[in-house]
Amino acid sequence: MFRKSGLVSYRSVAFVAVGLALAACGSPVSTTAASSPQAASTAPATELPPSSPPTGGRDFSAINLCQLVTPGEVAGLADGTAEEDPNQQSEADFSMCWYEVDKPDGVYTYYIVYVEKVELGELALSLDETGSSVPELGDEAYLRFEESEDQFRLIVLRSEYAIDMAGTDSDVMIGIARLLLDRL
């Protein structure tokens, strides 16, 4: 079964990889931390604090996915009862909501939804390019089953953002993505 820490680890790897890629391309974002007061005072003036969005980028910290698509809406799509206080996190590069739904037959389902910088979605696709296209979500929407985690993975790329989702029911995931595409 999918573990919360597994996705967080994936995100940490993705953020480090994107940061290194940006640094290699000459981005003003520093990938090293100041280790002494002297080093901190000699840091370049163009360095961005960790919570700041990249210049010209979308600030995902202002998006609360759990309000944009409510637990009740997800429960309706899944024909179940949602946990009313889902795990929500927003930072400059992404916004995340973890929905948990109990079905009437006692089956537990979950949907972990990220709206993130398009570069992170592209990175996720490059790590494993398998999957089927999902034409009803656009030209760059891909769905695959991850046997090792016993879950589906849906990635939808747009020009300004990506939707990256893991969950137990692909039809519900497509429904959540449709709501997000209409509201973002």
pLDDT at residue 126, rounded to an integer: 73
pLDDT at 106 over 70: yes
pLDDT at 67 over 70: yes
Q: Are 62 and 72 in contact (CB under 8 A)?
A: no
**CA within 13 Å, CB half, 42:** 6
The rounded mean pLDDT for the chain is: 76
Reported as a pLDDT band with limits 50, 70 and 90, residue 129 is: low
Q: pTM for the full model?
A: 0.69
Report residue 177 as tokens: 């993505």
pLDDT at residue 10, rounded to an integer: 40
Mean local confidence (pLDDT), 55-74: 87
Q: Are 98 and 114 in contact (CB under 8 A)?
A: no
User: What domains does the chain contain, in order, with CATH numbers?
Assistant: 56-183 (3.40.1000)
